[in-house]
């Protein structure tokens, strides 16, 4: 009998690839959207990877509203809770409330609907912020200290949302199982013109939108590998109640990424910068641009995380970061998002 999986936030980058891979592996997929007008948009994106056919259905449900969630989870064996607000803003409640309230809302509906396991897409941002620098990479035993500052509203929302998820399972989860996947920066092929923030970074490098590279460091993981880890965490008996970091290796700099694009894409990367942008320039721009302002506390900060647990316990093997960022750039060029 075909199993059914609910994927939340169907218009998102990770959600789109999750839907495609679930369909490819023979699952029936139900996915949530905030408005039915997104139906064609989702199907078109998924169709770039696999023909959605009649095993994909979309239902309306919002993270800030109870309506629709009972119907969304009805008859589902698993839930991939991928939806989360990703905006640059100084209004923390605008991001934190839907993230925290939303995950609890999804978990409650899943518990009441008899779902076996929810896999929640968290982030490395809920693991390694608010701590002094350390030589060893952070692992799943670490938790971000949200009181320490130096993080965006988005990072704080993800850390608080994951805490809320585990607290709910402990207090009210009943038979429902929870697993979290904690990715670093997610790159890889775009499925639509509506690109995520990490893909926008590659787009800006390609079109010459950055005169030089800010001194930023982050882990990289391919979206296809993130989805593969979600599905392994969904079905592995031992994965219930566990956290799994998804990253391809140590953090890399924007200069590293820029150099790889120039090396692999040749003339198509002719606008990619070759120099590092002085920190003071980023700080000045950040006073007037919230997107840039969110990056200021991260300048020069290198945080490494290890995916050894996912590789050891779930047999997960990620692509190299070079392949992930190259695939991102190639897809943007093919879609015409970044001019050739």
Measure the CA angle with vertex 188, ends 51 and 267; round to 5°: 110
Minimal CA–CA distance to 177: which of 77, 28, 102, 97? 77
Contacts of 37 (CB under 8 A, 6+ apart): none
Residue 156 designated active-site:
no
Instruction: For the chain, report the end-to-end CA distance as a whole number of angstroms.
Output: 47
What three-state secondary structure class fits 279?
A: helix
Given 60, 90, 156, 158, which residue is catalytic?
A: 158
Minimal CA–CA distance to 102: which of 66, 127, 52? 66
DSSP characters over 146-196: TTS--S-HHHHHHHHHHHHHHHHHHHH-TT-EEEEEEESEEES--SSSS--
Measure the CA angle with vertex 133, ends 249 and 215; round to 5°: 65
Q: What is the DSSP letter of 90?
A: S
Q: How far apart are alpha carbons 140 and 157 in whole angstroms?
A: 18
Hey, which bits of the chain come out as E strands?
4-7, 28-33, 56-60, 78-81, 117-121, 177-183, 185-187, 217-218, 220-222, 243-246, 252-253
Catalytic residues: 158
């Amino acid at each position: 009998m075909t199993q059914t999986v609910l994927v939340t936030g169907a218009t998102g980058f990770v959600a789109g690839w999750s839907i495609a891979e679930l369909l490819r592996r023979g699952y029936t997929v139900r996915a949530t959207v905030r408005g039915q007008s997104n139906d064609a948009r989702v199907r078109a994106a998924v169709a770039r990877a696999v023909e959605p056919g009649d095993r994909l259905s979309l239902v309306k449900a919002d993270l800030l509203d109870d309506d629709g969630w009972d119907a969304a989870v009805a008859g589902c064996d698993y839930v991939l809770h991928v939806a989360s607000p990703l905006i640059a803003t100084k209004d923390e409640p605008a991001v934190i409330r839907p993230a925290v309230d939303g995950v609890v809302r999804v978990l409650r509906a899943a518990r009441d609907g008899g779902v076996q396991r929810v896999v929640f897409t968290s982030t490395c941002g809920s693991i390694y912020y608010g701590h002094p620098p350390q030589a060893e990479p952070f692992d799943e035993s670490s938790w971000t200290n949200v009181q320490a500052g130096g993080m965006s509203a988005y990072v704080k929302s993800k850390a608080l949302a994951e805490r809320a998820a585990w607290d709910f399972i402990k207090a009210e989860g009943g038979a429902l199982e929870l697993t979290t996947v904690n990715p670093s920066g997610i790159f890889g092929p775009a499925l639509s013109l509506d690109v995520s923030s990490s893909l926008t970074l590659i787009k800006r490098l390609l079109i010459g939108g950055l005169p030089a590279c800010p001194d930023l460091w982050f882990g990289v993981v391919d979206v296809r590998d993130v989805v593969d880890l979600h599905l392994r965490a969904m079905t592995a008996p031992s994965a219930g109640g566990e956290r799994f970091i998804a990253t391809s290796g140590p953090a890399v700099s924007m200069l590293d990424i820029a150099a790889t694009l120039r090396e692999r894409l040749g003339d198509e990367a002719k606008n990619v910068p070759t120099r590092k942008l002085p920190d003071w320039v980023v700080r000045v721009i950040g006073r007037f641009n919230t997107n840039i302002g969110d990056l200021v506390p991260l300048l020069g900060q290198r945080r490494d995380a290890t995916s050894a647990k996912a590789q050891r316990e779930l047999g997960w093997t990620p692509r190299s970061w070079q392949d992930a960022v190259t695939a991102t750039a190639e897809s943007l060029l093919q879609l015409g998002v970044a001019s050739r």
